[in-house]
Structure 1
Amino acid sequence: MSTPVTPEVTPEEQTILYTFGQRAVWNTVTGFIESAFWAIYVVLFMFAMRIQLKRGIRDLTSIILLLVSVFLFASSTALWTMYVISLLDQFRGFFLKYPDLSLADRVARINIEKTKLWFPEETLFLFNMIVGDGVVIWRAWGWQLLVNPDSIFLDRSNDQAPAFVVITLDCLGNDGFGGQSTESSGSKVCQWGEPIAWGISLLTNITSTSIIAVRAWGHHRFLRKVLGSKRRKSQTEKILLILVESGFIYCLFWLSQIILFFPVVFGTLAQRLYSILSGMGDQISGLYPTLIIILVNMQRSMSDDPDLLSSARFSGGILSSAQFQTRSSMEETTTGAGSDKLEFSVLHSPIERNHLSSAA
């Protein structure tokens, strides 16, 4: 009985198998990372829906935030779904779909087919980025129209980033992609469209988080001056601290996304970082704004809800309409036989602080 002859694998085919295997491993790692962050996002989204619906949809702001929450989650879910589909199609294409083709031809077919989802993936990712920036700006300013350098920058960035997103999508739709999904094969303007939009988004987040940090520090100093240093940290202070810390952590993560705009060599540390960070970015771009919405709704005193108590006005002092009230953490101060409960707002300008000082 003769033994069947097994065809030998050529050195070229060995190289193809090794390369595909390495790519498959790291693509799978990316899929696991994105799936893990998507699972976290599911929990946060459910909590965001619960807390918003529990509070009730009573004004335009609450309606917009609810729609934004749904859009960001739906967009991130679509990104995760498309990545999983693309990953499974790569395995199916290499092992099952093209049995009559050589290994080199199978890889060539896979590389062509996987680019079909690049445009919708980029579209959703960029829209997530723009909507998320809108949430961050809203949180920093509380829907106020203020005239100062910071607000002017935020206003302009909110206009410029969408413009570069439109340029990027137009270039990708007309000229196609370059070597990777974040690069257009068109002119220099096309090639730099998405990196510029990303850079504006990063500066917007840094500026907005810095504004919140300044307000949090002013709020802390105000309460410390009035109530003394020996007091419990208010719930508002804790929420503001979480907003600031998570904001700067998000900025650091968003800065790491710069690696997505440079070509990476397969098998290097840069390629491994690219695989990890790209999987995280698709979900965190929607997850962080949702976290902001949750924090704002958890602390009603940080929103401009009409049901909240008005802040105390000292000697006719003018308090900003974007009030960080501390109803849930009111402290008692005793004078003689009685005690008065005070409720405070963040003072946003030297004029307001002067009113308070003169009243004291």
Structure 2
Amino acid sequence: MTPDEQEMVFSFAQSTFFNTVNLIVTITGYGAFVLGTIIAVVSLRKRTWGRSQTILLVCLLVIFSCFTWDIFYSGGFNISDIRYTFVQTLPGGLVAQAEASDRKTLAWQYMPSWAATVNLLLSDCIVVWRAWILFRDGKFWKISLAALMIANIGVNVADCIWGNIELSVEIASSTTLDWLSSIISLIVNIFATILIAFKAWNYHRFMSAVSIRKRTRSENILLLLIESGAIYCGIQSVYGVFILLDVYTVVGTGFSQAMDVITAMSIVAAACYPVATKVTAWGTSFSRIHEMPLLECCSGSFVQMEP
């Protein structure tokens, strides 16, 4: 084996190793997601059924389907890549085998962007929906949320289309649309989380003013939404930084492999986010939060709420 062949084998083995790490991260997150989804669906069945529960169930099922498809892609791509690169020998040696692997796995590479984007957009829609419910009478904030979400959908769909075009012309690096889609999704989540935090702060002030010290169910739900939103925004921020560095700086192999791991983590986070926020608690009780003083305390009116 020549030194060039040894270097090629090392490069392929390194790529296979990190692809396997990405697969482990994704499968681990998928296991947690499936468990959370089962708990959420079972809990939803025990509640009074309404429109919000139906929408939530549909969102969970779509996210489940897309995440399952992403797992199918990750496993299938790795198996095909290893098979055609290392297992199946060709007369031209490793170079011919690598070219054959690229051809055979090309169809797989069209799959992940759409499934991941659907999950991301559904996750963003859910957090926007939460903020929307809390600002039922806030026309400006509702318009702002809607405008940001429409822009988010447009940019992310355009990014997926451009990603497919990149595959056809064999462009492998990140583009402006890659970081723009990541940043606008981050802005949507930060904006919605800040709005929820603002309502929670007003609610806390109101409860303190009427000398109620015991933390209520509404406050627990809002704190959970804020904390989970902050964690999710943190993951998105790290991913956005990696994308920006990949677009505007010269990066090495190690950075690209680390970015693949961060990408896998962001895909897992987007799928798990709605479940991780205990969507079952949000189902019936959160959809009725507008009946509570949370939305009324700023205007001076008050509707009695059970602690």
State the TM-score bracket (shorter-chain normalisation): 0.7 to 0.9
Aligned to 2:290: 322
* Higher deviation after alignment, 164-173 or 99-108: 164-173
Q: Distance in 2 between matches of 1:293 and 1:81?
A: 26
Secondary structure of 1:284's counterpart equals: helix
State whether structure 2 residue 9 is matched by structure 1 residue 25. Answer: no
Shift of 1:89: 1.2
1:174–1:277: structure 2 CA closer, same or farther, 3 Å change rule? closer
Contact 1:93–1:110 (8 Å) recurs in 2: yes
User: Is it true that 1:42 corresponds to 2:26 in the alignment?
Assistant: no
Shift of the 35–218 alpha-carbon distance from structure 1 to 2, 3 Å rule, reads same
Alignment of 1:8-19 (within 5 A): 9-19=1-11
Q: Once structures 1 and 2 are overlaid, which stretch shifts more, 128-137 or 146-155? A: 146-155
2:204 corresponds to 1:254 = no
How far apart are residue 174 of structure 1 and its match? 4.6
Q: Secondary structure at the match of 2:78?
A: helix
Q: Does 1:352 align with 2:300?
A: yes
Q: TM-score, normalised by structure 1?
A: 0.75
Q: Point out the structure with the larger helix share.
A: 2
Structure 1, 164-173 or 42-51: larger mean CA deviation:
164-173
Output the CA distance in 2 between the equivalents of 1:77 and 1:122: 13
Q: 1:288 aligns with which of 265, 273, 279?
A: 273
1:171 to partner: Cα distance? 3.2
Instruction: Indicate conservation of the 8 Å contact 1:296/1:303, yes or no.
Output: no
How far does the alpha carbon of each residue in 1:243-293 deviate from its partner, in whole angstroms, 9 at most, with x for none?
11110110010112222462674442x234213212212221121023346
- Structure 1 unaligned blocks of 5 or more: 1-8, 184-190, 305-320, 326-344
Deviations 1:189-248 (A, max 9, x none): xx43343232221111001111111111121221122134xx332233222212111101
Cα distance in 2, alignment partners of residues 256 and 64 from structure 1? 30
Separation in structure 2 between the aligned mates of residue 301 and residue 63 of structure 1, nearest angstrom: 14
Q: Give 2:127's match in structure 1, choosing from 117, 126, 136.
A: 136
Residue 98 of structure 1 deviates from its aligned partner by: 3.3
Q: Secondary structure at the match of 1:153?
A: helix
1:94 aligns with 2:62: no
The 3-state SS of whatever aligns with 2:299 is helix
* Counterpart residue identity of residue 74, structure 1: S
* Higher-RCO chain (CA-CA 8 Å, sequence separation at least 6): 2
Inter-CA distance 209–173: structure 2 relative to 1 (3 Å threshold): same
Code of the residue aligned with 2:227 in structure 1: it is E
Q: CA deviation at 1:149?
A: 4.0
Q: 1:14, CA displacement in angstroms? A: 0.6
Contact in 2 for aligned 1:257/1:277 (Cα 8 Å) = yes
Written as runs of structure 1 = structure 2, the 5 A alignment for 1:52-201 is 52-56=44-48, 58-142=49-133, 145-174=136-165, 176=168, 178-180=170-172, 183=174, 191-201=175-185
| Residue 188 (structure 1) aligns with | none
Instruction: Give the Å deviation of 1:352.
Output: 2.2
Counterpart residue identity of residue 266, structure 2: G
1:139 deviates by 0.9
Per-residue CA deviations over 1:59-79 (Å, capped at 9, x if unaligned) read: 222211110010011111110
Q: 2:204 aligned with 1:213, yes or no? A: no
Shift of 1:117: 2.0
Contact 2:134 2:196 in 1 (8 A): no
Match of 2:208 in 1: 224
Question: Given that residues 41 and 57 in structure 2 are in contact (C-alpha distance below 8 angstroms), is that contact kept between their aligned partners in structure 1?
Answer: yes
State whether residues 37 and 275 of structure 2, in contact with CA within 8 Å, keep that contact through their aligned partners in structure 1. Answer: yes
Q: How many angstroms apart in 1 are the aligned matches of 2:257 and 2:161?
A: 30
Alpha carbons of 1:26 and 1:170: their partners in 2 closer, same or farther (altered >3 Å)? closer
In 1, distance between residues paired with 2:298 and 2:47? 35
| Root mean square deviation, CA, Å | 2.6
Q: Which secondary structure state, in structure 2, belongs to the residue aligned with residue 351 of structure 1?
A: coil
Equivalent pair of 2:117/2:156 in contact (CA under 8 Å): yes
TM-score by length of 2: 0.87
Q: Name whichever of 66-75 and 124-133 sits farther off.
A: 124-133
Equivalent position of 2:217 in the other structure: 235
Q: CA deviation at 1:147?
A: 4.3
Across the two proteins, how many residue pairs are aligned to each other?
298
The AA in structure 1 aligned to 2:225 is: L
TM-superposed CA distance for 1:106, in Å, is 1.4
Cα distance 1:249–1:295, how it changes in 2: closer, same or farther (>3 A)?
farther
User: Any unmatched runs of 5+ in structure 2?
Assistant: none
